Amino acid sequence: MIPAKFDYHAPSTVDEALRLLSEAEDAKVLAGGQSLIPVLRLRLAAPEVIVDLGRIEELRGVREDGDALAVGAMTPHADMIADPLVREHAALVAEAAETIADPQVRHRGTFGGALVHADPAGDMPTTAVALGAEFLIAGTRGTRTVAAEDFFEDLFTTAVGEDELLTQVRIPKHTGWGSHYEKFVRVAQQWSIVAVAAALRIDGDSIAEARVALTNMGSTPVRATAVEQRLIGIAPVADAVREAVVDVAEGTHPPSDLNGDADYRRHLATVLTGRAVLAAAAG
């Protein structure tokens, strides 16, 4: 099918995009389109206005900004994967981005688009939560900053209002940390049934700091802070890690669907967290 009719705007600045959004009654923002265009084609959405951010150069690219990386919301996944700054200071994001869909989708799909889409089975939101990213949200009244734990509100729902735009994500540098994204899928291109993001700072023979977050274990990414605390001070060896992560699924509310019921997902989360932490320690 082809999408229903819409009015199309391709502004070249953020200000112009914000003005268009504030004037439109029923507008949708088009980033890379790798989720939105299939939704339009299936007519699951039929907005009257599309505001395409593809012509706004200022929204692309990665740069260093003090102790953080400043990532433009329209930076494609393929650019994130290839970016030396991301590899050095936020390797977790690059590793997880490599598991998104397929190469063609990664050429078009964007970091910011995946975050604002906020699919509970999406991979980018979990990495942003794990690394404690901050989100810069622009509106006609100015720009505000929202912390990762406040950004993801519910299924496909974020703190970005209908007349606002996510413009930049600030990812605190995790230079020298080991990281791993352990994603469980059954077939190619599949969304995560469950996935676990882990990043560790190793000091000597033991874990000095840990970040662990879970994908598709609830309506938003779950940061496993209790497990992070329990990992501190232990040696990254199999028995100790498995013991530290055993309760990782406690208090989570994962979905039940054809890929597995909630208990199955809780079991998976425990096994995958152990694997993710051990792999992060090794790399």
Partner 1 sequence: MTQINVTVDGISYSDEVEPRTLLVHYLREWLGKTGTVVGCDTSNCGACTVHLDGRSVKSCTMLAVQADGHQVTTIEGLAENGQLHPMQQAFHETHALQCGFCTPGMIMQAIDLLKDNPDPSDDEVRLGLEGNLCRCTGYQNIVKAVQTAAKAGGAT
Other residues' Cβ atoms within 10 Å of the Cβ of residue 196: 34
Q: What type of residue sits at position 193?
A: I
Whole-number minimum distance, CB 257 to partner 1, in Å? 17
6: contact with partner 1 by CB under 8 A: yes
From CA 17, how far away is CA 11, in angstroms rounded? 6
42: contact with partner 1 by CB under 8 A: yes
**Comparison of 8 and 282: residue with beta carbon closer to partner 1:** 8
CB 90, CB 126: distance < 8 Å: no
**Count of residues of this chain found to bind partner 1 when the rule CB under 8 A is applied:** 29
In terms of Cα–Cα distance, which of 36, 12, 187 is closest to 117? Answer: 36
CB 183, CB 192: distance < 8 Å: yes
Site string for partner 1, 51-80 (x = CB under 8 A): -x-x-----------------------x--
Whole-number minimum distance, CB 20 to partner 1, in Å? 14
Two tokens at 188?
């190619």
Secondary structure tally for the chain: helices H, strands E: 12, 14
- Contacting partner 1 within 186-245 (CB under 8 A): 188-189
From CA 80, how far away is CA 257, in angstroms rounded? 31
**Comparison of 114 and 217: residue with beta carbon closer to partner 1:** 114
Whole-number minimum distance, CB 68 to partner 1, in Å? 28
Burial class (CB in 10 A: 0-12, 13-18, 19+), 141: exposed
Which part of the chain contacts partner 1 (CB under 8 A), choosing from 63-71, 105-113, 116-124, 173-181? 105-113
44: contact with partner 1 by CB under 8 A: no
Two tokens at 14?
């953020």
139: contact with partner 1 by CB under 8 A: no
Which residues here bind partner 1, judged by CB under 8 A? Answer: 1-8, 10, 33-34, 37-38, 40-42, 50, 52, 54, 78, 101-105, 107-108, 188-189
